């Protein structure tokens, strides 16, 4: 049953995993597909997942972990020198019934808007960007920026809360036909890299302004 499901859905699996990789490192794609399928086939509950209709969810989650995590077996074997550009925010992908590239495009839109928003929003966006850029390590952020990790983690958590709230609003706007997605992956990456490039330079000064404005009294 499990092998039959794989054969019947092989092209769909490749499409799902292409969305995970965004076409990045095409030389690794076939190996990546086979690795993810093997993990699924070796799972003791693979048959149950087929029966319950949970295979796509499982495969996409495995693929995200294997492709994005610097500690995953696939990453260690095939991608040791690769710098991640993808967004990896807590629970973002699994909460919404949309393809990952759409969610990432929306998150970039939100970070763009936060950059142009209030001082607090601007600061939150910088902290999120640097957190992702430094492998989600608050201790490293503290050393690089000279800002206490407790302050950084508080700002990050508040930022994630705000991003998810805004993301829910944008999802509803898509459903209602009031918001359209660009869909240009290259444009998404360009915006992502531009925001990342600015973040490290600006954060220290913005932190000082945020403290002066009493931002930390409100979170």
> Tokens standing for 177?
């036909």
Give the per-residue pLDDT at 178: 83
Q: How far apart are CA 208 and CA 211, in angstroms?
A: 5
> Tokens standing for 152?
């950084």
Give the per-residue pLDDT at 86: 43
Give the per-residue pLDDT at 96: 58
Give the per-residue pLDDT at 70: 59
Closest alpha carbon to 37 in 64, 18, 57, 10: 10
Q: How far apart are CA 84 and CA 42, in angstroms?
A: 28
Angle at 193 between CA 76 and CA 23, to 5 degrees: 55
- The model carries a pTM of 0.55
Give the per-residue pLDDT at 82: 34
Tens of pLDDT along the chain (219 residues) come to: 899 999 999 999 999 999 888 887 787 888 889 989 999 999 999 999 999 888 998 999 888 888 876 566 676 565 444 333 345 555 454 555 566 667 777 888 888 888 888 888 988 988 888 887 787 888 988 888 888 889 889 999 899 889 888 988 988 888 888 887 665 555 666 666 667 666 766 777 777 777 777 776 655
For residue 25, is it left (φ>0), alpha (ψ between -120 and 50) or beta?
Answer: left
Q: How far apart are CA 181 and CA 86, in angstroms?
A: 18
Q: Tell me if 197 sits within 8 A of 93, measured CB to CB.
A: no
């Amino acid at each position: 049953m499990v092998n039959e499901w794989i054969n019947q859905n092989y092209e769909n699996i490749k499409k799902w995993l292409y969305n995970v990789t965004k076409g990045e490192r095409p030389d690794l794609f076939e190996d990546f597909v086979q690795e993810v399928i093997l993990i699924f086939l070796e799972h003791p509950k693979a048959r149950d997942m087929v029966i319950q209709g949970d295979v796509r969810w499982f495969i996409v989650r495995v693929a995200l972990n294997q492709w994005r995590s610097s500690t995953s077996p696939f990453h260690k074997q095939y991608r040791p020198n690769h710098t991640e550009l993808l967004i990896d925010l807590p629970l973002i992908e699994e909460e919404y019934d949309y393809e990952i590239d759409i969610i990432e495009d929306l998150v970039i839109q939100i970070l763009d808007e936060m950059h142009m928003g209030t001082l607090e929003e601007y600061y939150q966006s910088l902290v999120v960007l640097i957190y992702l850029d430094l492998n989600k390590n608050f201790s490293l952020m503290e050393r690089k920026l000279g800002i206490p990790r407790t302050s950084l983690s508080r700002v990050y958590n508040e930022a994630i809360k705000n991003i998810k709230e805004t993301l829910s609003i944008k999802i509803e706007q898509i459903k209602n036909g009031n918001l359209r997605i660009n869909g240009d992956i290259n444009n998404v990456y360009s915006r992502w890299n531009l925001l990342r490039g600015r973040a490290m330079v600006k954060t220290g000064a913005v932190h000082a302004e945020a403290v002066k404005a009493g931002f930390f009294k409100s979170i």
